[in-house]
Structure 1
Amino acid sequence: MASDLVIRPARAEDEREIVELLRSAWSRVSEPGPERPADAAVFDERHPVEGFLVAERGRRIVGYVAQAPAGPLESNRHVRHIQGLAVLESARGSGVGAALVEAACDAARAAGARRMTLRVLGHNGPARQLYRRCGFAVVGVLPEEFLLDGAYVDDVWMSRRLSDPDEPAHR
């Protein structure tokens, strides 16, 4: 990671810059949903600002990662899920994505999580490679889950252990 990169918790005032980043990074390679409108909110009940980390170079946000509990049940509160990751095109290949993923895993581990999960489109080779380098493994594939621009695309589920398997469960 470049020494001038700072990973920090997102703040409410970062929302506009994160929206711009999301709009610049949007493509059918990484996103099955529609392009985000310029006035769309990033932070909401399902995506609270506390779940976001941003990567800054200078005073500019060059990437973000969002994570949240994997589901609403107490019985799987030990699992966190990466809800989104984006890096400015000009900052790709410089370690920003890996730094964000590792920071999200560190934050989840510090909060008591034992596992991190994520979903990635099957045709997104660069993202799948990044997640593999960060210790994630494929745990499932939903074949042809999305129809994007006339082609069927798999939904790949990946997971990574965050804790020692012999560590006792927290109750």
Structure 2
Amino acid sequence: MPEPSIRTALPADEQELALLDRGAWSPLHAVLPAPQPPYPPFFDERHMPQDYLVAALDGRIVGYLRLVRPSALPAHAHVRQIQGLAVSDAARGRGVGRALIRAAVEEARRRGARRITLRVLGHNTPARRLYEAEGFVVEGVLPEEFLIEGKYVDDVLMGRPL
């Protein structure tokens, strides 16, 4: 099984990433309702191509991870945060998510970060297991932070040093 190739997103990836994003939507990881037309642009002033790592298999984009500073505060400049991870259904179980996380850790280091953090919904057991396997630990829990499809769901804060 080939390894996914990982690279920084390009403006030309927007359409493919938007389709992937909509196709990967699930209440397992999304706090917003399912996307409906008209769809907003994938890239905008807060979501720039350089913020995304994309994974490709056989020349097709099959996953992405958004890696950004959690705030513009100078005192927070040593931290990077994963603010989105999606893998197409067809590519699940092929190491795409793991490859993206490992690439994000390396990219965060390259950008001079000392820590990497993320937030994951408490009921998203597959993602939590993957993050834990890659060295992330639970650093806090916001109990019943979201109401998703009639159920209260915890917001789990995870992080790791670089």
Which has the higher mean CA deviation after the structures are superposed, 40-49 or 104-113?
A: 40-49
Paired position in structure 2 for 1:25: 24
**1:83 paired to 2:83:** yes
Give the Cα separation in 1 of the matches to 2:64 and 2:160. Answer: 19
One-letter amino acid of the counterpart of residue 140, structure 1: G
Query: How many corresponding residue pairs?
Result: 161
| TM-score, normalised by the number of residues in structure 1 | 0.90
Deviations 1:57-77 (A, max 9, x none): 122100000110011100110
Paired position in structure 1 for 2:64: 64
Provide structure 2 residue ranges, at least 5 long, that are not aligned to the other structure: none
Give the Cα separation in 2 of the matches to 1:25 and 1:17. Answer: 12
Q: CA deviation at 1:82?
A: 0.4
Paired position in structure 2 for 1:155: 155
| Aligned residue runs from structure 1 range 70-109, under 5 A | 70-109=70-109
One-letter amino acid of the counterpart of residue 93, structure 1: G
Q: CA deviation at 1:3?
A: 3.1
Deviations 1:102-150 (A, max 9, x none): 1011011011000000000000000101100111000000000001111
CA contact (8 A) 1:4 1:58 kept: no
Deviations 1:84-118 (A, max 9, x none): 00001111111100000110110110110000000
CA contact (8 A) 1:8 1:53 kept: yes
| Aligned residue runs from structure 1 range 22-61, under 5 A | 22-37=21-36, 39-61=39-61
One-letter amino acid of the counterpart of residue 71, structure 1: S
RMSD across aligned C-alpha pairs, in angstroms? 1.1
**1:119 paired to 2:95:** no
Give the Cα separation in 2 of the matches to 1:44 and 1:36. Answer: 16
CA contact (8 A) 2:68 2:82 kept: yes
Q: CA deviation at 1:36?
A: 2.7
